[in-house]
Amino acid sequence: MKFDTPATTNPIDRLKVIGQPHDRIDGPLKTTGTAHYAYERHDAVPNHVYGYIVPATIAKGRVVNIDTATARRAPGVLAIVTAKEAGPLTKGQYNTAKLLGGPEVQHYHQALAVVVAETFEEARAAAGLVRVDYARSPGAFDLAAAKGRAVKPEDGQPDTAVGDFAGAFASAPVTLDAMYTTPDQSHAMMEPHATIAAWEGDKLTLWTANQMIHWGKGDVAKTLGLPPDNVRLVSPYIGGGFGGKLFVRADAILAALGAKAAGRPVAVALPRPVMFNNTTHRPATIQRIRIGATPDGKITAIGHESWSGDLPGGGPETAVQQTRLLYAGANRMTATRLATLDLPEGNAMRAPGEASGLMALEIAMDEMAEKLKLDPVDFRVRNDTQEDPEKPGRRFSQRNFVQCMRKGAEQFGWSKRSATPGKMRDGAWLVGMGVASAFRNNLVMKSGARVRLGTDGRATVETDMTDIGTGSYTIIAQTAAEMLGLPLSQVSVVLGDSSFPVSSGSGGQWGGNSSTAGVYAACVKLREAIAGALGMDAASAVFDDGKVSAGGRSVPIAEAAKSGEIVAEDSMEYGDLEKTFQQSTFGAHFVEVAVHAATGEIRVRRMLAVCAAGRILNPKSARSQVIGAMTMGVGAALMEDLYVDKRLGFFVNHDLAGYEVPVHADIPHQEVIFLDEADPVSSPMKAKGVGELGLCGVAAAIANAVYNATGVRVRDYPVTLDKLLDRLPTV
């Protein structure tokens, strides 16, 4: 099915099941420990053995020698695979660095070998007996030092320009020109990257934790030199991803190689302290923002430049993205530059681009509002635009950004905020409020599904879509239930198997809308087949309450399948509506913080997000997406910082004790409001993404609240108390 004209009325609009705050259908399994994640498939793979990674302990250079002799003699050891034993491997399409290094070492903790043994303890002990001799090469590990050598990235649009930015900025009555930095961050999802691999002849099955099954299947095949049809990925439950599991990682390749060498199925999980340097991370940025405005607060010039680094062949953090679309202004420029760094591979983490870009831009907007003596909400509202600022006449499909700001301000009690920083006290605490805009584009991806109507009248949906905590199981079931007129309890959903139709996968906040649109397409086809089987006109047949009705007849849906299961499969593909319209999601984040007047300790007291993101398919799970993103935003604002050893080239704090993420004590009760929207330009679901929107802007809202509390402006994340202490108001 092709979606190339805006949606009209369809069965989804009934909103009997979809759009309702149903509990997750996978809840009873997840809360009882009976949902089996990748490393836990004793049911599917009895008697597997264990592989343990040997990671590189230099950042760049060469392996001179790997001595595995002692390890091979260790008790229980079945096989050891290094690059030498593995033979030629091809780098995956989506990988920047090789997943099995040697002799060349491209980054710290790059995998150099897998040791396979009968037990986990034996594999781990033997891995410690592998002796590696290196020749270390000098590398570049410091973004600030490499910034001057940064170049235009090959892909994307490194430079954009509209009007005369330089002239308009020079002549603007009120201007801001400031530098901001964001640190390297880690996904740090709770489930480590893990895979169990089993070979049957030359066919390989991987029970693995992966967000994008089809990409993963392709890259496993490419890496190992197999025909894609010989590779099957199974990933029904995934313990978080946030972009860290978009791509095939070392666990999958090491398990496959280890299983081949040992002649047994092998389970490999990346040890937590190896994950931070072995896998991908959100790259650090240095950003320069210039804004020029008239005294009444109309932006006349806006410029955003960003520098980030990556391994050779890698890409930039596209931190300027939102600045091309978020605010009006006739004269604009952006520039993206990429430095070569020999740190671990930088890649997508939740809301890549916007998350980092808004951390800077939304502080800049706060600073500019202060210069203009305008309320920060009012300043943003004054610079709303209903069309693409780079392409006048190209409208947003829907843009209720101003409503988000106004609704949020009213709900949050924004009018109680003191415009002068450092004026609100609560005992020993300085209290402040901050606001920031949320913005993230809505992407649509081709997505397919197969839907079966069983002889018992139950529907089963099969798609290689994944649920990484996003609620895919539930919204897919709700979609099928709505389309077929069945109660939710009559629908089963099976996900994450590469033998199912190819879906959008989970990434870029496209999964919810795209995967359900694919299920919609398959259900349209199934409805036609059901109507045909019942001798009814498909176009006029109504599916409701377990029955199909047309031409005065009404029969139970199960009747259609009484002589055998009916199966339909289809995909939703997209035309060029995304060219005609700019599709984006919008929001406003409001935060109240308290900063201890003596110690500088920062506490987040209240958080509110107002989101305009099309139809909300399940308000309960969508709200969870947003509060989870707000929580990650607290981490970005106040604590998350992969600390770079600039001499040896690695992230020092590579575990969950050193890389601090928010815990219960850091997070207050959180409020989320969704505007009542349905965007017919996005898909027949009229939904858009929300899982990344919730993160965009949060950190800046917190930084702005800290400024409002203390009068101390921090432009280098994270905002930690050491950056406040010497500038706090006198106690």
Query: Which residues are designated catalytic?
Result: 692
Nearer to other proteins, 75 or 87 (CB): 75
- Which of 131, 562, 647, 727 contacts other proteins by CB under 8 A? 131
Applying the rule CB under 8 A, the residues between 590 and 649 that interact with other proteins are 620-621, 623-625, 627-632
Residue 384 tokens read as: 């709303």
Closest distance between other proteins and the C-beta of residue 108, in Å? Answer: 12
Instruction: Indicate whether 31 belongs to the interface with other proteins (CB under 8 A).
Output: yes
- CB-CB contact of 58 with 136 (8 Å): yes
Nearer to other proteins, 120 or 199 (CB): 120
- Which of 17, 86, 188, 690 contacts other proteins by CB under 8 A? 188
Q: Please compute, for residue 575, the number of CA atoms within 13 A of its CA located in the half-sphere on the CB side.
A: 11
| Amino acid at the residue 89 | L
DSSP label at 714?
-
* Angle 423-428-432 from CA coordinates, rounded to 5°: 40
Closest CA to 306 of 387, 364, 245: 364
Q: Please compute, for residue 398, the number of CA atoms within 13 A of its CA located in the half-sphere on the CB side.
A: 24
What is the rounded distance in angstroms from the CA atom of residue 268 to the CA atom of residue 51? 5
- Which of 16, 30, 371, 547 contacts other proteins by CB under 8 A? 30
Applying the rule CB under 8 A, the residues between 198 and 237 that interact with other proteins are 237
Applying the rule CB under 8 A, the residues between 76 and 105 that interact with other proteins are 76
- Which of 16, 147, 272, 423 contacts other proteins by CB under 8 A? 272
Nearer to other proteins, 95 or 347 (CB): 347
Closest distance between other proteins and the C-beta of residue 97, in Å? Answer: 19
Nearer to other proteins, 224 or 355 (CB): 355
3-class secondary-structure state, position 204: strand
- Which of 5, 15, 23, 540 contacts other proteins by CB under 8 A? 23
- CB-CB contact of 662 with 634 (8 Å): yes
Applying the rule CB under 8 A, the residues between 661 and 720 that interact with other proteins are 661-665, 667-670
- Which of 137, 420, 499, 554 contacts other proteins by CB under 8 A? 137
Applying the rule CB under 8 A, the residues between 638 and 667 that interact with other proteins are 655-657, 661-665, 667
3-class secondary-structure state, position 724: coil
Q: Which helix (H) or strand (E) holds 395?
A: none
Closest distance between other proteins and the C-beta of residue 290, in Å? Answer: 34
Closest distance between other proteins and the C-beta of residue 658, in Å? Answer: 9
| Helix residue ranges per DSSP H, 383-510 | 401-412, 472-484
3-class secondary-structure state, position 473: helix
Which range of residues in 89-97, 128-136, 396-404, 407-415 is near other proteins by CB under 8 A?
A: 128-136
Nearer to other proteins, 328 or 627 (CB): 627
Closest distance between other proteins and the C-beta of residue 116, in Å? Answer: 15
Q: Specify the residue for token string 């020749």.
A: 135
571 DSSP β-pair partners: 448
Q: What is the DSSP string of 128-192?
A: TT-EEEEEE------HHHHGGG-B--SSS-SEEEES-HHHHHHH-SEEEEEEEEE--B----SSP
- Which of 3, 39, 207, 414 contacts other proteins by CB under 8 A? 39
Closest distance between other proteins and the C-beta of residue 535, in Å? Answer: 40
Applying the rule CB under 8 A, the residues between 396 and 425 that interact with other proteins are none
Instruction: Indicate whether 129 belongs to the interface with other proteins (CB under 8 A).
Output: yes
- Which of 3, 52, 134, 169 contacts other proteins by CB under 8 A? 134
- Which of 14, 94, 120, 330 contacts other proteins by CB under 8 A? 120
| Amino acid at the residue 46 | P
Nearer to other proteins, 411 or 580 (CB): 411
- Which of 2, 5, 15, 73 contacts other proteins by CB under 8 A? 73
What is the rounded distance in angstroms from the CA atom of residue 197 to the CA atom of residue 209? 12
Q: Specify the residue for token string 């940064």.
A: 150
Nearer to other proteins, 136 or 723 (CB): 136
Instruction: Indicate whether 111 belongs to the interface with other proteins (CB under 8 A).
Output: no
Closest distance between other proteins and the C-beta of residue 481, in Å? Answer: 18
Buried b (16+ CB within 10 A) or exposed e, 324-349: bbbbbbbbbbbbbbbbbbbbbbbbbb
Instruction: Indicate whether 47 belongs to the interface with other proteins (CB under 8 A).
Output: no
3-class secondary-structure state, position 520: helix
What is the rounded distance in angstroms from the CA atom of residue 455 to the CA atom of residue 478? 20
Closest CA to 322 of 360, 277, 376: 360
Closest CA to 108 of 87, 137, 73, 75: 137
324 DSSP β-pair partners: none
Residue 148 tokens read as: 């001057």
Query: What mask, x for binding other proteins by CB under 8 A, covers residues 144 to 183?
Result: ----------------------------------------
Nearer to other proteins, 279 or 583 (CB): 279
Nearer to other proteins, 188 or 461 (CB): 188
- Which of 6, 10, 14, 40 contacts other proteins by CB under 8 A? 40
- Which of 8, 32, 47, 730 contacts other proteins by CB under 8 A? 32
Instruction: Indicate whether 471 belongs to the interface with other proteins (CB under 8 A).
Output: yes
Nearer to other proteins, 22 or 399 (CB): 22
Q: Which helix (H) or strand (E) holds 334?
A: strand 331-340
Instruction: Indicate whether 431 belongs to the interface with other proteins (CB under 8 A).
Output: no
Instruction: Indicate whether 53 belongs to the interface with other proteins (CB under 8 A).
Output: no
Nearer to other proteins, 23 or 154 (CB): 23
Nearer to other proteins, 389 or 635 (CB): 635
- Going across the sheet that includes 584-596, the strands are 425-426, 429-441, 584-596, 602-612, 670-674
Applying the rule CB under 8 A, the residues between 238 and 257 that interact with other proteins are 238-242
> Cis link prior to 344 (omega < 30° from 0)?
no
| Amino acid at the residue 494 | V
Closest distance between other proteins and the C-beta of residue 670, in Å? Answer: 4
3-class secondary-structure state, position 729: coil
Instruction: Indicate whether 128 belongs to the interface with other proteins (CB under 8 A).
Output: yes
**Length of the chain as a residue count:** 731
Instruction: Indicate whether 429 belongs to the interface with other proteins (CB under 8 A).
Output: no
* Angle 114-120-122 from CA coordinates, rounded to 5°: 80
Size of the site for other proteins (CB under 8 A): 86
- Which of 10, 20, 57, 157 contacts other proteins by CB under 8 A? 57
